[in-house]
Amino acid sequence: MRYERIKNLLGEDFSKLEDAKVLLLGVGGVGGHCLDCLSRSGVGEITIVDFDSYDLSNQNRQLWSELHEGELKVEALKKHYPDIKIINAHIDEEWVQNFNFDEYDVVLDAIDDIKPKLALAQKCYKKLISSFGCAKRLDPTKVHVDDVFKSYGDKFGSKIRYELRKRGFKKKYKVIFSSEEALVKDKGSFIGVTATFGLVLCSEAIKMIREKK
């Protein structure tokens, strides 16, 4: 049976995964691995949102990218995960403000832009788990999970914390971050780190679902 081994781990809580609705924002190097983990773990309803297409530069870290160069990510991923729901949209601040998050149990943020990340925190922090910067790093053992204002060691995360404080935001929500300093200034990425972020994002989502009453 496909989910027998995850059922053995979760026991009666597995039914919570089957009934859960998860919204995953961004399906790149982090989000793609998170999606695979959610699907293989038996999450009942997964909706993904992205606007980008696969290109050659994605192939060092993004699942399925070598098979779908030039295709929209959400449409390509639907071929591998036929039960998912897809939304082809650019996630900016306006999109976040206009989107209805009420039906989802968990919102997973695997996007790169600061403004929509801030908007997400302000709008749905109670069900949000957010991924911070994972590029330019090589050590997956430096990946951590904590409340946003307890995160450290990441300039991207530092900017987000600064902007949240400036907006008077004092709530708590979980973030995935790395304490490893960036190794280069230019673009650089290693699947060992990006995939770890995605898998940890999935693990935290499962934890949140299990804790729901």
For the segment 110-126, what is each residue's pLDDT rounded down to a tens digit?
A: 999 999 999 999 999 99
User: Average pLDDT for residues 19-29, to the nearest whole number?
Assistant: 98
Task: Tell me the pTM.
Answer: 0.97
CATH number, domain containing residue 94: 3.40.50.720
For the segment 4-18, what is each residue's pLDDT rounded down to a tens digit?
A: 999 999 999 999 999
What is the SS3 assignment for 149-190? HHCCCCHHHHHHHHHHHHCCCCCCCEEEEECCCCCCCCCCCC
Structural domain for 17, as ranges: 4-211
Asked if 106 and 37 touch (Cβ cutoff 8 Å), the reply is no
- Number of structural domains, the chain? 1
pLDDT value of residue 1: 83
For the segment 59-70, what is each residue's pLDDT rounded down to a tens digit?
A: 999 999 999 999
The SS3 call for residue 88 is strand
What is the pLDDT of the chain when averaged over all its residues? 97
Strands (E), 99-153: 106-109, 128-131, 143-147
